[in-house]
Structure 1
Amino acid sequence: MTTTARRKLAAPTLAMLPRIADSLSFLYAEAVRIVQDDTGVCAQVESSRGVDRVYIPTAALACVLLGPGTSITQPAMATFARHGTSLVCVGAGGVRSYAGILPASLTTRWLEKQARAWASDETRLQVAIRMYEMRFGTSSAPGGVTLAQLRGLEGQRVKAFYRLLATKYGIKRFKRNYDPDAWDDQDPVNKALSAANACMYGVVHAAVLALGCSPALGFVHSGTQMGFVYDVADLYKARVTIPLAFSLHASTDPEREARRRLREDFRAFKLMPQIITDIQALLDPSDDEDPAADRSPDLVHLWDPQAGPLPAGVNYGFEATSYDATDLVNLE
């Protein structure tokens, strides 16, 4: 393969990139070195037999979870960035820190919708109510409900769901607990739930970034750069991660089993396209524009409160007719 051909393969065009809704969910890597070679990005491990390599489908992944013992080179990170794949660093014991890569080809259409809905207390509450109804049914939120009442209703429903699953699996007593400092002392259900939720947050974070939204502008959660990620992830916990964790109550390795089973559930439930659809419905239920427009490279424009969006890359000097020569000098 020539150098020119390799360079073209490493620099994908917009037409080559799959939509986030078509992506695989996530890939978890632990104790490997991720590098870029002549043909792509691979994870390699040194053993007595030499160096074993597994190539990673960068363009088809929503995010890569970098577990303990994992290192990655700058060229490999650049390739992930070009393909719009998020990198999520996952620490030992469930302690997490996030590193998101935002595809440069996205417009700000959904970010602007999110910011407008978040900036008003009235519309922010409306989005929170839609989130609650997505979880518990369209008629589950009483008319005129406040956010404090929603929190109370949610807490009651989640506790009841825990009791139901504990009875189903013969668990005498269960209490949700997440303590990174005493990770090894926790029961298998809590370990599995924390591990599954960490993966869920990573995938939702990748979806949020792929739409161009801000992970920080949460409608229920606030005070963290991941507020909106936690909001959206809560939509699926009762459907996916909580039942999965309780089913692993007798597992000897609940964290690893939770990650493996969660990948299968993402594929079975077709959760990635559902996340994208749900975020769009939360922010603007009336929006019916073509999602393909979000990856157009020609949507950069100038903002004008009266004229609306104006083309960028145009010299608007002719519009300065209301200034005299002295004004223009002063502007400089």
Structure 2
Amino acid sequence: MLPRVADSLSFLYLDMVRVVQDDTGVCAQIEAGNRTDLVYLPTAALTCLLLGPGVSVTTPALTTLARHGTSVVCVGSGGVRAYSGILPDSLTTHWLEQQVAAWADPNRRLDVARRMYTQRFGDDDLSEQVTLDQLRGMEGQRMKALYKILAQQHGIGRFRRNYHPDQWDTQDPVNLALSAANTCLYGIVHAALLALGLSPALGFVHTGTQHAFVYDIADLYKAETTLPLAFALNQSTNPEQQARRRFREELRLLRLLPRIVTDTQRLLTLGSATEVPDPAERRDVHMVHLWDPKKGVLPAGVNYADGIS
């Protein structure tokens, strides 16, 4: 059985296999020389299946995955791209509702944005009097200081972040590697958000793009993942390719995904900046409910005619 992650979320990544349904269950067929090995997938305990390059899947297998409530996301090699997602009807809307409620309320949106900056700074004692404008300035100073430290460590002169798609071929190796590695990170974050049923478009710091929330969450990890990798490739003759390969090899996908899930849930949880509520202690978010502006959530499947006066 795969290890459980926050809110009973677990991931399995596959590539170069054929996923089929047989009399026993859903299995991955692996061609090994003259024989075919079968690896059965724990679909009932699996929340998200990441399908990488070289994977083919049959309709019966997809039907079983949907019946068991498993999200299926098509990704790049190592999970560093997210191309599309197939979400089951049974996927809870709990976290999407939390996201929308926080995004639509200016005060809660500001609170989530502040938490994001606080996590980046690693300072839980950040004064509440600091404005969002000041936080953006502090973030800019932090990144400049980090660029300077990494440049000194790798014997690079003054570094300036430069991202101009129309001048791609004229950029230095560090900028090329950083752009490629960031794209990989965005893919992993995108896959995690889709598996949670969240909207990648409703960001708290970023806005105006379908990937705004992806950029919000990815920014939490760049300082420890993509930036050191990019500066280490300052002498590379093919920084983009090496950045993608080293990102896949060194990041350890299944170690980052649980962090993304836990951090995202914590950021969206009202009234707590440190803990995510235990799913066993809250209402069953997988059940369908009715909404009432005064009474809150009401049970569905009930005839309310007797309550009409």
**SS of residue in 1 equivalent to 2:155:** coil
Q: Secondary structure at the match of 1:134?
A: helix
Q: 1:262 to 1:159 in 2, by over 3 A?
A: same
* TM superposition shift of 1:124: 1.0
Q: Please say if residues 133 and 141 of structure 1, whose CA atoms lie closer than 8 Å, have aligned partners that are also in contact.
A: yes
2:248 to 257, 260, 284: 260
The correspondence for 1:40, drawn from 19, 27, 31, is 27
Q: CA deviation at 1:37?
A: 6.4
Structure 1 residues 26 and 71, CA, compared in 2 at 3 Å: closer, same or farther? closer
2:199 equivalent to 1:214: yes
What SS class does the counterpart of residue 148 from structure 2 fall into?
A: helix
1:136 and 2:124 correspond: no
Aligned length: 291
Report the CA distance between 1:317 and its aligned residue. 2.9
CA-atom RMSD in angstroms: 3.9
Spell out, residue by residue over 1:91-118, the C-alpha distance to the aligned partner (whole angstroms, 9 max, x if none).
xxx9x77423334333222222222221
State the distance in 2 between where 1:178 and 1:53 align. 46
Whole-Å separation in 2 of the counterparts to 1:178 and 1:56: 44
Aligned equivalent of 1:5? none
Contact between 2:290 and 2:299, CA under 8 Å: does it hold in 1?
Answer: yes
In structure 1, stretches of 5+ residues that fail to align are: 1-15, 323-332
Residue 71 of structure 2 aligns with an amino acid whose one-letter code is G
Instruction: Classify 1:298/1:167 alpha carbon distance in 2 versus 1 (closer, same or farther; 3 Å).
Output: closer
Match of 2:152 in 1: 167
Q: What letter is aligned with 1:299? A: M
Identical pairs, percent? 51
1:236 aligns with 2:221: yes
Q: Compared with structure 1, are the counterparts of its residues 139 and 256 closer, same or farther at alpha carbon in structure 2 (3 Å cutoff)?
A: closer
Counterpart among 308, 312, 328 of residue 300 in structure 2:
312
Q: Which has the larger radius of gyration?
A: 1
> Counterpart of 1:302 in 2: which secondary structure?
strand
Instruction: Give me the whole-angstrom Cα distance separating, in 1, the residues matched to 2:88 and 2:289.
Output: 18
Retained in 1: the 8 A contact 2:229–2:243? Answer: no
**Aligned-pair CA distance for 1:168:** 0.4
User: Is the 1:141–1:150 contact (alpha carbons within 8 Å) kept by the matching residues of 2?
Assistant: no
Q: Which residue is 1:7 aligned to? A: none
> What is the one-letter code of the residue matched to 1:87?
C
Which aligned pairs between 1:44-59 and structure 2 lie closer than 5 A? none
SS of equivalent to 2:74: strand
How far apart are 1:128 and its partner, in Å?
A: 0.8
TM-score, normalised to structure 1, is 0.70
8 Å Cα contact 1:189/1:246 also seen in 2: yes
Q: CA deviation at 1:242?
A: 1.1
CA distance in 2, matches of 1:244, 1:58: 35
Amino acid at match of 2:89: A
Q: For residue 158 of structure 1, report the CA deviation from its aligned partner.
A: 0.9
Cα 1:297–1:108 shift into 2, 3 Å: closer
- Unaligned segments of structure 2, at least 5 residues: none
State the SS of the aligned residue for 1:303.
Answer: strand
1:111 to 96, 108, 115: 96
Partner SS for 1:86: strand
**In the alignment, which of 73, 96, 107 is matched to residue 86 of structure 1?**
73
TM-score (norm 2): 0.74
**Distance in 2 (alpha carbons) for counterparts of 1:84 and 1:20:** 15
Report the Cα distance in structure 2 between the residues aligned to 1:183 and 1:43, rounded to whole angstroms.
39
Measure how far apart 1:222 and its partner are. Answer: 0.9
- Equivalent pair of 2:12/2:48 in contact (CA under 8 Å): yes
* Equivalent-residue separation in structure 1 for 2:41 and 2:27 (angstroms): 8
**What CA distance in whole angstroms lies between the structure 2 residues aligned with 1:255 and 1:288?**
33
User: How big is the shift at 1:136?
Assistant: 0.5
